[in-house]
């Protein structure tokens, strides 16, 4: 499987695109394999309860995918890490203008 990462995940992988040995399963399974191979990515993808953060976005072969969607062994997975920071007020202020 080919995995393309963005943002701070690149510091975990050292490059934008990496290859993983993955036998197929769900998107959740693919993320677990990714984190096994690149443990520094865990804090970007999982919360303290070991659940995938709600703001993590994943696509399989260019299509947005949910965690329980199928992910074939030869998929191209794209992972956008959790977005952190801010309290949301700025967005509301901007939308009023």
pLDDT in tens, the chain (97 residues): 999 999 889 999 999 999 999 999 999 999 999 999 999 999 999 999 999 999 999 999 999 999 999 999 999 999 998 765 545 444 444 444 4
Q: Specify the number of domains making up the chain.
A: 1
CA atoms within a 13 Å half-sphere pointing along the CA-CB vector of 30: 29
Give the domain extent around 71: 2-96
Q: What is the pLDDT at residue 91?
A: 43
- CATH number of the domain enclosing 7: 3.10.20.30
Q: What is the pLDDT at residue 28?
A: 97
Q: What is the pLDDT at residue 94?
A: 42
What is the DSSP annotation of 41-94? Answer: GHHHHB-TTSPBPTT-EEEETTEEE-TTSEE-TT-EEEEEPPP----SHHHHHH
Q: What is the pLDDT at residue 90?
A: 44
């Amino acid at each position: 499987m080919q995995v393309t990462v963005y943002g701070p995940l690149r510091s975990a992988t050292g490059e934008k695109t990496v290859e993983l040995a993955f036998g197929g399963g769900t998107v959740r399974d693919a993320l677990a394999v990714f984190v096994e191979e690149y443990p520094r990515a865990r804090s970007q993808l999982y919360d303290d309860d070991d659940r995938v953060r709600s703001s993590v976005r994943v696509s399989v072969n260019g299509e947005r995918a949910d965690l329980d969607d199928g992910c074939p062994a030869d998929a191209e997975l794209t992972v956008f890490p959790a977005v952190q920071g801010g309290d949301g007020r700025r967005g509301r202020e901007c939308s009023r203008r």
